[in-house]
Structure 1
Amino acid sequence: MQTAAALPGPLPTHHRTHSHSHPGPIPSVRRKPAATSVWEDMGHTQAWVLNQGFNSSSTSLNVKPSKPSHYRKHGWMTEEWVGQQAVYYVPREDDAAVTLSSRHHHSGHHRSGSLRRDPAPATTPRRAAHWEDMMYQYEVDAERWMRHEAESRRAAEERLRMRTRVEEELRRIDERSRQRKHEQRRMFEENRARMMAEAREHERRDRPMLEKKVAESWEKYESRWSGLASSSEPLTFANIPWPTVIAPRTAEDLSMSAIASFLLSGAHSQETTKKERIRSAQLRWHPDRFRRLMARVSEEEKAAVEESVGAVARVLNDLMQREKGNSK
């Protein structure tokens, strides 16, 4: 079996010994200048990896591997992994160079070399410019958003004020309309009350004169009907004794109010009831009874007289029905 002394000398390594009797002066610890490319020192790194394989093999140090497949056999793929990183790694401007450095401790102990990343500047000019652009755009967007929010808030407040003004104006219009209607209704009621009061006052003042006129008209009415039986004079629409205070000119003047105010007035026939007066008038103005007088009416006025006689007969029938209803 070969001994460790039989092995060939190892490649230069970054390991430091822990001897306290270092013969020469302690070398200064200085950082190597940053490489221009991240793979510039890859040769040293690969040599170091291979050296670690020889010195730190999980197998016995007395056994020298006969071929590289020995490393694959025991899972030693670090060399291949380091080589593959150049394929996958895309360098950036702000990447820090990877260098090997040694550090001397005051205790005199030496430590194996280690991979260290040189500190990169905080930001590169390109990243700083990109960051400034990003911050500027953020500020612009924030200012635009705040301005939009302020405008939206002002628009909402203006809409609220406008709606309030419109509602207030509508309330004022409704109030004015309500007051105007109330005033019109009040004026109408006052006018009607005043007219009714005036009518009652006129009726009170004119009642004696009106009763006197009704009484005189009734006497003429009865006298005229008494003379028709013994007279043979021609009859016209004007000289027929119609049952009204004022002589009618057409059939429309023979209304229920005009006939009732004359026929049922208290200024005459106080000894007879209203029903008896209506019954007596029905006998006079019945169309069949009045037909014997139609022979004395001229042909020019016969149609108007017949229409008026029929109107009087209908009013008398209505008055009789009303009087019968009141007596029940």
Structure 2
Amino acid sequence: MSYAPTPYHVGNSKVCMRYACSFKALGLEENILAWAMHEHPFNQPDPMADQRKHCPYTNSKRKPMVETYIWVEEQRWATAQWVFEQQMRTVYGASLDEKQRAAAERRRADEHRRTVEEIIAGKRSRKFRSKERPLKMTWADYQTRWQAIHSSSSPLSFSSIPWPQKIQPTTPSDISLAAIASFIFAYPGTQSRKERIRSAQLTWHPDRFQRLLGRIVEDEREKIKEAAGIVARALNDLK
């Protein structure tokens, strides 16, 4: 008569319940829970339990054989338990990896969205500032900035020079006679039209402007010389 060890069957439901709880925490499907709780070999009844209950070790000669069988059964159940745990680990790990991948995708999407929003906001802010700053350029601001240039020795760039226009140009082609006339004559003051033109000509006269060329950054020197020539010719046309 054969015997099978009861301790493994006593603890099987607890083992399955532990993994079933892990499944439920992961939100796995009910059919996997059913398999873990009812259909896995660990949760099957011990087929030798009744025989073992009614057949004690009465024959001392059979003890070694029975003990060997019990050892084999223990090894079989230990192997089955290891296989079961590997299956649980595979399912658990796959589900965890999927959740981690989904979370990483969400983080990347959020970072991309924030980057795009920052770029758009930066462009809007620069566009607003480029429109707002020139409109604040008054005749008084224009004169003050030129006084600061003549009283310092700092390098000059195209954008640091106060051009005689409300909307400050970014290239020589942005400078026009109409824009210069609108700027010079738009603001009331004590100077007459002729006096304002004369004051502007003193600033933009080629001989006087030539003194500033040594302070102009090298890569913008030709660009500034071209723009200054356009301003000087426009002022001559306004006389």
**TM-score between both structures, scaled by the size of structure 1:** 0.31
With structure 2 as the length reference, what TM-score do the two structures score? Answer: 0.43
Report 1 or 2 for greater relative contact order, CA contacts < 8 Å, sequence distance ≥ 6.
Answer: 2
